[in-house]
Amino acid sequence: NLQDDLYCGLDLKWPVRGILDRNYSESRIPCVPSVIFESLSHQNFEDMRYGLDPRFKFIVSRAIYKAMTKFIATQNNQEYVIAPLPINSFALRLIGDNKVRLTWRPTVDSLESTAVAKKYGVYTRRDGEGWDNGVLVNDTVAVLPIGVDELMSYKVVAINDGGASFDSEILSAYSARNAKGEVLIING
């Protein structure tokens, strides 16, 4: 799973130096399936370059998660569903004086056919306070109310039967009472 994902995600031919099946207490004593996974050497410059790359870390972590999910499902003779990837192309636009239109696209996981979003959780934060409990939407568009003279922030997660994706980036909007025009700020 890891080799395939690294090759498809980073065009990296990751070598498998050996798979051992030994009687280690860390993997023998627990009451749940377990594995000891060694992937990088801190004495190898190339390994450390990958170890510090967030894309590499994400692909490795997701490959381990997918392999564990598939193993447990197979062991229990069940179907499995992998959680979707985070959304992309997240955008917002003020429409009228009291509404904001959020749009986004699902990220297709070309390595996992079950990782398809079925719904989306849209979360709102008012004036930098905590996030609300969110609303579920079935589409890739949400129109929400926005207060006047309040900084509103939004994030979206993709959801399916396997769980929820990581959060999207956070977008914010502000509708001023005496606005003389619109200003767009991109990433600060």
Compute CA distances 107 → 74, 80, 89, 169, whole Å: 26, 19, 9, 14
Cα 77 from Cα 37, distance rounded (Å): 25
Does the pLDDT value for residue 97 go beyond 80?
no
Measured CA angle at 150 (ends 149, 155), to 5 deg? 145
Give me the mean pLDDT over the 65-79 stretch. Answer: 93
CA torsion through residues 55, 163, 30, 21, sign: negative
pTM to 2 decimals?
0.83
Confidence of residue 51 (pLDDT cuts 50, 70, 90): confident
Can you tell me whether residue 101 is helix, strand or coil?
strand
Higher pLDDT, 51 or 121: 121
Give me the mean pLDDT over the 119-139 stretch. Answer: 95
User: Exposure of 118 by Cβ count < 10 A (0-12 exposed, 13-18 middle, 19+ buried)?
Assistant: middle
Confidence of residue 143 (pLDDT cuts 50, 70, 90): very high
Higher pLDDT, 51 or 144: 144
Neighbouring C-beta atoms of residue 61, cutoff 10 Å = 10
pLDDT at 182: 81
- Which residue in 77, 62, 153 sits closest to 112, CA to CA? 62
Residue 75, H or E segment = helix 54-75
Confidence of residue 26 (pLDDT cuts 50, 70, 90): confident
Does the pLDDT value for residue 30 go beyond 70?
no
Measured CA angle at 157 (ends 162, 35), to 5 deg? 40
